[in-house]
Amino acid sequence: MDINKFFSAKNIAIVGASKDPKKIGHVIFRNLIDGNFQGSIFLVNPNAYQILNKKVYKKLNDIQEEIELAIIAVPAKLVLQIIKDCGKKKIQNVVIISSGFKEIGNEKLENDVKALLENLKIKCCGVNSLGIFDAYTRLDSLFLPRYQMKRPKPGGISFISQSGSVGAVFLDMATKQNYGISKFISCGNATNLDESDFLEYLGEDKETKIICMYIEELKDGQKFLKIAKKISRIKPIIAIKAGIKKEEDKSVISHTGILAGESEIYSAAFKQANIIKAESLEEMINFARILEKTIAPKGNKIQIITNGMGYGNLAADDVIKNKLDFSELNKKTISLLKKQFSENIILGNPMDLSGDATTQKYKLAIEACLNDDNVDILLLIVIYQTSLIDESIFDVIAEFNYLKKKPIIVVSTGGEFADSLKRLLEEKGIANFEFPEQAVKSIKALVDYHSRR
């Protein structure tokens, strides 16, 4: 299904544009301007003449130019009429922000909207959608003021969300952490286009390297699994399934408007389709980051290298908890490192470079492990607080990472100093994590995805 125009439209109409800075129809207009959107914007509202010095049309048909996408933010009761207007104006794509349908029990109106959209062959994102965001084209129909939520930079992670609030939180975090985003889609009630349609589109989208999803309920499970199976061979799909709460729980029923499915069924289905299941938003973002930045490992044998053995032991425990394996260095590697190192290096797993480790020691250790066939993945637990290590270690790690021989993952925990070094690493394209637990769980996701592919 061609839904490219939702992200690449050049001529956009905002129906329900408003003078009132608090109103959705105003915020969206403002965001498009502030976001430096390069296309043309047309405002529609029968009761306004000008908004921010821009002409307002009484109705869609008054606009001369062809409109590729209409963003509709009018009261629910007016939506049917606006869709009819879109039909007359031959608009094929609409985002409906308006709420007040199925989600508050207004099934009849939702069904009428659905039928009308199908009848007029108009593709719709929504109703009750938070909107769409594309970091490349800067098409931004989110009704979130930029002072409350900045927008993320362009990158490879896309997100389809069945919840506006989860989407907003995700985008806000991505911006803060400086993660690059491709596209964000809030499905709303999925009256017309559903999560599977958007999944299929993102599967073919060149800018999307990783697809994240927040799912409360699948509109059509069979359709979803069929598409997901196909896409997951090309790029990773990471999904959170929310709504373990019982079907009889009224709040979930009211919220999604449909019965909540069973968590177990989803888990099995996800596995079958090689969808990576994340248990939380934090996990989803971590999995997305490691999968975006890291090459496929040959196996699941991890070598931990550290200059802080206690912290290394914590990481080792996480390897066991996540049912991953430890590498056993081959004899050649051990005798080489024994020659290069002083006596107080523990060449086990974790390999302890000791508190007085230098960048040079790390370099030798990483190089030896990259050349050892028994090692599939390197996990570096770098302690900055106690050590003689300085920023130069990151050039070393970045250079090795550039060779793309094996996945290299870094844990950098601590305060301001550690954080600044962490940002450096992130910029150099290395997946790094605040805690060993997060790093190892993410490695598990990396290993699982590639082994099932």
Binders of a second copy among 197-236, rule CB under 8 A? 214, 216
Residue number with CB closer to a second copy (49 or 147): 147
Cis omega (within 30 of 0) on the bond before 440? no
Residues 388-447 that bind a second copy (CB under 8 A): 388, 413-419, 434-437
Residue number with CB closer to a second copy (13 or 71): 71
Measured CA to CA in angstroms, residue 169 lies from 158, 173, 328 at distances of 14, 6, 42
Stretch that binds a second copy, among 110-118, 295-303, 305-313, 364-372 (CB under 8 A): 305-313
Q: Does 385 bind a second copy (CB under 8 A)?
A: yes
Phi and psi at 363, nearest 5°, equal -60, -50
Shortest Å, Cβ 381 to a second copy: 8
- Choice from 101, 311, 394, 449 touching a second copy (CB under 8 A): 311
Binding of a second copy at residue 282 (CB under 8 A)? yes
CA-CA distance, 19 to 148, in Å (whole number)? 20
Looking at 355, 392, 404, 429, which residue binds a second copy (CB under 8 A)?
Answer: 355
Does position 150 interact with a second copy (CB under 8 A)? The reply is yes
Convert residues 41-80 into a mask of x (bound to a second copy by CB under 8 A) and - (unbound).
----------------------------------------
Distance, in Å, from the CA atom of 245 to the CA atom of 253, rounded to the nearest integer, reads 10
Distance CA 161, CA 165 (A): 9
Angle between helices 331-340 and 359-370 (to 10 degrees): 160
Residue 148 touches a second copy, criterion: CB under 8 A: yes
DSSP one-letter string for 15-52? ET--SSTTSHHHHHHHHHHHTT--SEEEEE-TT-SEET
- Using CA atoms, how far apart are residues 432 and 408, in angstroms rounded to an integer? 9
- The residue within the footprint of a second copy, chosen from 314, 379, 380, 445 (CB under 8 A), is 314
The reply to whether 180 sits near a second copy by the rule CB under 8 A is no
Length of the chain (residues): 453
CA–CA dist 294, 405 (Å, integer):
10
Of 3, 32, 82, 316, the one binding a second copy (CB under 8 A) is 316
Q: Which stretch binds a second copy (CB under 8 A): 81-89, 197-205, 379-387, 395-403?
A: 379-387
**In the range 322-351, which residues lie near a second copy by CB under 8 A?**
343-344, 346, 348-351
